[in-house]
Structure 1
Amino acid sequence: MKKRTRHSRKREIPAPAHPHFRSTPLPWHLPKDLQDDPQALSRVETIMQSPGYRQADEDPDFLKRYETRGVRLQIDYLKPELLLEEHRVGHTIVAFGSTRIPEPAAARRRVEKLEQEVAEHPRDKGLARQLEIARRLEAKSRYYEVAREFGRLVGNAGTGPEDCRLILITGGGPGIMEAANRGSYDVGAKSAGLNITLPHEQFPNPYITPELCFRFHYFAIRKMHFLLRAKALVAFPGGFGTLDELFEALTLIQTRKIAPLPVVLVGRSSGGRPWMWTFWWTRE
């Protein structure tokens, strides 16, 4: 008969019981018996429904408190950072621009619709004002195609659709940002979008790679992600948001808080064609 060794005896020690699948429940798996206290179950239900009983990371009211702002700032930064790393996004080309500049066909339809309404109501000053704005936007709609072509150029910079070493990144909204993301989408390349929570509902444009579309609560964290991997910044005609992002980047470059990078301004018109002005800061 084979002699049992110390090692073989150790392997015969049974594993601990499973914490959930048990023949005999643990004391905390069942509420107090109603025969001992008829009110016990209702008291337990009240306790479990109390906000204080919620697990901290599953309690939105707690996470939205003033005192937890530091935690919100951390996770607002961390989630996009981890996902960008998982997709091996190394560098980005940032494109800013107006959300109000539509593609030319949509701009033309808007003008024609308003022209018809103005013809039917010639004394309506509100309609006349809308038509004036629509015509200005139609004139600027050529920049939609410029931004779309730019998106194609960035998208073709890699070795294929799965190559995320260099991708285009925008604010994720409509207008110029949509056009730039759409250009990358046209050539099968991935691109990112950084949405922001606003008082009114905001929808991402449909051409962003789904797993690279993020929504931020804090503008500061969103701006940080715009520039963390940026190798160039291209600003098309836009409003306050575009100017805010542009001057933020210029200030960081001037004060050497970030490495110098080219900044391209698209928008000088000559003969109806868009030109590009480039500002380049060196390390000197």
Structure 2
Amino acid sequence: MDERDTGQMKDHRERIFPDARQDIETTREIPHTPQTESPAYRLAFADPDFLCRDELRPVRLQLELLKPELYLTEYGVESTIVLFGGARIPEPSQREQAATTTLAELSRYYEQARRFAYEMTLRSKADGGLRGVIVTGGGPGVMEAGNRGAAEAGGVSIGLNIVLPHEQAPNRYVTPDLCFNFHYFGIRKMHFLMRAEAVAVFPGGFGTLDELFETLTLIQTGRMQRVPVILFGEKFWRDIINWEALADAGTIAREDLELFRFVETAEEAIAAIDGWEGAGERRRSVPGR
């Protein structure tokens, strides 16, 4: 079995100190006494109650940053194509069950996300399958469409799920070994962009807007290299955001409106990515992280 299939980190160096997992097993064989039954005696890294203390938040933040990075590195993922979009946008066959007429109309973008992911995954496979890997939030709607398109193309895809009170389980199209769960939104958003070659944004709600504007802010301020940012559905985006008013007011520069482009179809998105300045260079080099 390939190491990637195990979902486990392998250490091929000769071990000098005891394996932490061995110590966990050893402690289970220790006789039960008042001392060993005390929470104070538990190994710190094997004590969920200790790890969940408020004072351990910095450690949990670091763990959430580190775990997906180690798994993605082990798997060999070099770069990604990011899909942001609404969880409520239905598959076209389910459009009659949509909560609003607008959501029913937006169902066409489910199919565009699916086609876009399919075509980009075919490209990824032709380049070895570990560059330009589709990554979504791992949920329903546009996210499902992205993972589904990648699966239908015979490739892998990443899902970055998050624990929410009313959120869903990961969709069934995410590659299991590349399906992650998060507690912290901020760390999750970092992982979306750390390997990004391009960002495709479909209609969505607060979460999608948050992801879009964080991406644009990082690019605008030079904290992230410029990559293609493609917005599907020009009418939707112009209806909900008065982009020109921002530039007219001077709260953004006029040239900031060139950080993204509107498209309607998967084919237009792919053409926009291919025509973006520096497209060939992005495919040759892994984005810095």
TM-score scaled by length of structure 2: 0.70
- For residues 247 and 210 of structure 1, the distance between their equivalents in structure 2, rounded to whole angstroms, comes to 29
Aligned twin of 1:106: 94
Given residue 60 of structure 1, which amino acid in structure 2 is its aligned partner?
Answer: P
Contact 1:161 1:190 in 2 (8 A): no
State the Cα deviation string for residues 22-71 of structure 1 (Å, max 9, x = none). Answer: xxxxxxx886xxxxxxxxxxxx5332222112111111110011211111
Contact 1:197 1:215 in 2 (8 A): yes
Contact 2:136 2:143 in 1 (8 A): yes
Aligned twin of 2:189: 223
Does residue 274 in structure 1 map to residue 240 in structure 2? no
State the Cα deviation string for residues 133-167 of structure 1 (Å, max 9, x = none). Answer: 34332211111101100010111012369721220
- For residues 249 and 150 of structure 1, the distance between their equivalents in structure 2, rounded to whole angstroms, comes to 20
Of the candidates 92, 112, 123, which is equivalent to residue 146 of structure 1? 112
Aligned twin of 1:47: 35
RMSD of aligned alpha carbons: 2.5
1:53/1:266 Cα in 2 relative to 1: closer, same or farther (>3 Å)? same
Does residue 191 in structure 1 map to residue 181 in structure 2? no
Does residue 256 in structure 1 map to residue 225 in structure 2? no
- For residues 198 and 175 of structure 2, the distance between their equivalents in structure 1, rounded to whole angstroms, comes to 20
Contact 2:140 2:168 in 1 (8 A): no
Does residue 80 in structure 1 map to residue 80 in structure 2? no
Does residue 233 in structure 1 map to residue 223 in structure 2? no
1:151/1:197 Cα in 2 relative to 1: closer, same or farther (>3 Å)? same
* SS of residue paired to 1:89: coil
Contact 1:161 1:188 in 2 (8 A): no
- Gaps (5+ residues) in structure 2? 1-28, 237-262, 279-289
- Gaps (5+ residues) in structure 1? 1-28, 32-43, 112-132
- For residues 199 and 206 of structure 1, the distance between their equivalents in structure 2, rounded to whole angstroms, comes to 20
Aligned pairs (5 A) from 1:196-207: 196-207=162-173
Of the candidates 222, 231, 235, which is equivalent to residue 265 of structure 1? 231
* SS of residue paired to 1:172: coil
- Per the TM alignment, residue 107 of structure 1 is displaced from its structure 2 partner at its CA by 2.0
For these two proteins, the number of residue pairs brought into alignment is 218
- For residues 182 and 42 of structure 2, the distance between their equivalents in structure 1, rounded to whole angstroms, comes to 24
Q: Greater shift after overlay, 72-81 or 261-270?
A: 261-270
- Per the TM alignment, residue 94 of structure 1 is displaced from its structure 2 partner at its CA by 0.4
Aligned twin of 1:182: 148
